[in-house]
Each structure stands twice: as C-alpha cells, then as structure tokens.
Amino acid sequence: MSEKKDQGVSRRQFLNYCLTGVGGFLAAGMVAPMLRFAIDPALKKAGSAGGMVPVASESDITEEPKSYSFKVKVKDVWTGEQETSQTAWVYKYQGQIIALSPICKHLGCTVSWGTNKQFPNQYHCPCHGGRYEKNGKNVPGTPPMKPLDQYQLAVKDGKVLLGKVEPNKIAGGA
C-alpha cells in the first residue's frame, strides 16, 4: 500500500490541489475589482495631468463666456490610453482669460451661460435651478454649495491651453 502512495498523488492531495486552485481563482475574482477601484482614479488623474491642450485662439476670447469643447487623453489600467471630450466656458474676466468647468457643483449637471432669461448674466443649471455668477461663484439660496471649478490655463503662441480642473480661485471661495 505504501508503494502505491509513493508512485503518485494521493486522492487527498489531488482534492487539496483542486480546492486550492478553485479557492485562488475565486479570491482573484473578488480582489481584482477592488484593486481596480483603488488604483483606477489615481491612474486617471495621472493621465489627465499630462500636459495642456490647445483649446482656442487667444484673439477669439471676449468678455462673453463661450463654450469650447476639446479632447483629453486619459490613461486607464484596463483600456489603456483613451480620448475623452471635455468642455469649458472660456472668456475674459477682469482682463484675465479664465476657463470654468460646466459641471454643476450640486449634482453634476451641465450649466450654461445666459439661458435663464430672468438672470441673463449668470450660469444656470437646468436640473434644480442652480445659478452661478460670472466668476463661477454659486448664488446663495440656490442648490450648489461651491463655485464652479476652474481649468488650469496658459497662453502660448497665441493659443489658449487648458490643463487639469482645480478649485475656483477667482470666486473667492464659498
């Protein structure tokens, strides 16, 4: 009988190998989504931080907010590098070119400029009536509790370049 055991894998060992393999497979299936959840935002941030994107000619920018769309390359651990579309309200404010994010700070709808006839010189959010002043400051008494975010901005060779979105610096906080 001991000769038989020495020749190969015992039934018990075989069962242990199978259970270890299946257990490992199931554990990997549970851990992989958690890893993705933990790592993915960091990778996306790193990807979108890579460089400024030309959006408009400096000579086209006026004091009236105008919406510009542009594409940004985003790195993702699963899908690799991808292009995503973004939009910014770009204009001169107190002599300085600025670019505001159109994403409402209440629940993330898209704001537009001058579409509310009652408040033509404000940003208006169609979802819950949020409003923002021209510098992005949220109007008290409307749902948003923070100013619209602002894009990093540079002007080079007559082009307006936009980078990462960051908290609004011109609205004086809110």
Query: Footprint of ligand FES on this chain (CB under 6 A)?
Result: 104, 106-109, 125, 127-128, 130, 143-144
In this chain, which residue has its C-beta nearest to ligand FES?
A: 130
Residue with smaller CB distance to ligand FES, 97 or 109: 109
What's the closest the beta carbon of residue 167 comes to ligand FES, in angstroms? 17
Minimum CB–partner distance for residue 101 and ligand FES (Å)? 12
Instruction: Assign residue 2 a region (left: φ > 0; alpha: ψ between -120 and 50; beta: otherwise).
Output: alpha
Q: How far apart (Å, rounded) are the C-alpha atoms in residues 34 and 119?
A: 45
The least CB distance from residue 132 to ligand FES, in Å, is 10
Residue with smaller CB distance to ligand FES, 143 or 163: 143
